[in-house]
Amino acid sequence: MSSDPKILGSHRHLQIPFPTHRLASTALKALQVDPELSPLVQRHFSIISASSTEPEERAQVLQVEYQATTNRMLRVAVNSFMEGLKLVLEVMEQLDVDVLAAENKASIKSP
């Protein structure tokens, strides 16, 4: 599959912030397991820092780059990714200790 921009004309960059590097890494591992169903869509995952001054081990933004041959293929792929992301976030919210701790801190600070 070629990554020539003329062939893969539609593209989208998504950045999803997480409270910690561990949660961003967990989401990446959970989401990258499912391959793209179409050979006409390419996807690349990475974890980046919110700012250029943060060290890489503190990076907590999941970045997903999509390229597809058509806008329709891109829309279908991104919609599918969003469904998977929603599921991962719901599981984290229900089961992950870090997320529960962050919610408790936020509720304590709120008046």
Q: Judge whether 94 lies within some domain.
A: yes
d(CA 87, CA 85): 5
In whole angstroms, give the CA distance from residue 27 to residue 36.
Answer: 17
Q: How far apart are CA 69 and CA 87, in angstroms?
A: 27
Indicate the Cα dihedral angle 27, 59, 18, 73, nearest 10°. -50
- Any idea what the CATH number is for the domain that residue 43 is in? 3.30.310.50
Q: Is residue 50 part of a domain?
A: yes
Of 30, 56, 32, 57, residue with least CA distance to 42: 32
**Mean pLDDT across the stretch 3-15?**
75
As for how many domains the chain has, the answer is 1
* Residues 16-57 pLDDT 10s: 999 889 999 999 999 999 999 899 999 999 999 877 666 666
1 lies in some domain: no
Q: Is residue 35 part of a domain?
A: yes
Each residue's pLDDT tens digit, 66-80: 999 999 999 999 999
Domain span holding position 28: 10-109
